[in-house]
Amino acid sequence: MRLIQNFINGEYLDAAGGRRFDKRSPLDNKVIASISEAGAPEVDAAVRAARAALKDEWGALTTDQRVELLYGVANEITRRFEDFVEAEMADTGQPSHVMRHVFIPRGAANFKVFADVIKNVASESFQMATPDGRGALNYAVRMPKGVIGVVCPWNAPFMLMTWKVGPAMACGNTVVVKPSEESPQTAALLGEVMNTVGIPKGVYNVVHGFGPDSAGEFVTRHPGVDAITFTGETRTGTAIMKAAAEGMRDVSFELGGKNAGIVFADCDFDAAIEGIYRSAFLNTGQVCLGTERVYVERPIFERFVQALKAKAEAVRYGRPENPDANFGPLISQEHREKVLSYYRKAVEEGATVVTGGGVPDMPADLADGAWVQPTIWTGLADDASPVREEIFGPCCHIRPFDSEDEVVNLANDNIYGLSTTIWTNNLARGHRVAARVEVGITWVNSWFLRDLRTPFGGSKQSGIGREGGVHSLEFYTETRNICVKL
């Protein structure tokens, strides 16, 4: 069994008193790692190390020197690609092709792309007129914000963590990362990469543990943390925002969603089926951008439901290393309980179960894993809880609609506003509907396709702020205004 330790000031350390917790495999519920749980003293040590590095080694580097080192991090992740794939597969149980083609490569890219952004970004400067005719030069400079607390979820652990750590470090900040208790391994492994590449001690720190009364709360409450970036549930975001209010610290939040898929009758039918299938079931439905509400224009409704049902019934459950498997378990037994509670509620609230709704029969070696069937419902009222609340599982409700206005109103009738996917061959309509849906990111005839330089984030209760490209700089830097009288 593996031992996963905290990474503080360039060293792997146990917590004082040796507190540990278990990480269980989602595949079979067996304990696969013992994690050292950071208490307040370890979090304090990590924050102190991060503060010291800010002033000394990291703070003293030029942008070019930092950029070189971040390129080194990206290259070293690529060199150790298999180790990262293996660690992430062990934590999440997801099929290896998703790790190989999206999650791990994008993790490496998060260091390279933000190094390029910081290298090429300009800041404003103005030559001002003054009454005495001599003028003034007024310009803005971007400074690091300080020590950034990075609190992460488990659904795409490495990609989502590096999407924060990459730009934070590129901007000259130092970080204290609190990975999810369900997915600690890739954050821990990244410490080895930092040391190999020669990132100064204390720039990248990792503390393990849970949320309340544990490492998550200790990081977000620590007065030495200057700003907090968080991805996770909206409810947790509310708790973290309260912690950040003390000391007036800035927050960046990527939160929950209840995303709509809108399928017009004039779409490319096969492409829409493939797109909605991926958006509802990829990563066993544990993607913040996933579609849990599908609206289909009435003339193609029945055909659409049957085609999606056929695809959902063809998933192949299995271990990540099995090349035939394309469908993994949920992250944990606890999360499975939550998802299954919605499967029950859907029936109680009057759904027609088109497919799924339960637990698949698994071979004996996987019988204790967190498996659920991909599930499709029709017939629920618009205010039924499985239609309104984020489930974060492989399930969706499909409802017919008759007009563009009706479907825009349905899509917008939710507290969340993260993303939408629209399927139509009428591009004017695609643009029109995209402008009317109240979300941070909209895809037309696609899903989960984004250049890392563009802004990402949620509207309404799906988030605060935008990250990606130059937009990350707004959060990870403090802009100062300097005016020099000439």
Please state the closest distance from residue 461 (CB atom) to ligand 6OH, in A: 16
Site string for ligand 6OH, 442-471 (x = CB under 6 A): --------x-----x---------------
Exactly one of 5, 92, 94, 155 binds ligand NAD (CB under 6 A); that residue is 155
Residue number with the smallest Cβ distance to ligand 6OH: 288
Q: Which listed range, 60-68, 93-101, 208-216, 478-486, lies at the site for ligand NAD (CB under 6 A)? A: 208-216
Encoded one letter per residue, x for contact with ligand NAD by CB under 6 A and - for no contact, window 212-251 reads x---xx--x----------xxx--x--xx-----------
Residue choice 285, 417, 463, 469 for contact with ligand NAD (CB under 6 A): 463
Nearer to ligand 6OH, 90 or 287 (CB): 287
CB 164 → ligand NAD: shortest distance, Å? 11
Q: Residue from 111, 392, 447, 475 that binds ligand NAD (CB under 6 A)?
A: 392
- Measured from the CB atom, the residue of 264 and 392 that comes closer to ligand 6OH is 392
Complex with ligand NAD: residue 161 or 272, whichever CB lies closer: 161
Nearer to ligand 6OH, 400 or 455 (CB): 455
Question: Tokens 């996917």 label which residue?
Answer: 421
Please identify every residue annotated as catalytic: 254, 288
6, 36, 110, 155: residue in contact with ligand 6OH (rule CB under 6 A): 155
Q: Does 289 bind ligand 6OH (CB under 6 A)?
A: yes
Q: Can you give the binding site for ligand 6OH, defined by CB under 6 A? A: 155-156, 159, 287-289, 450, 456
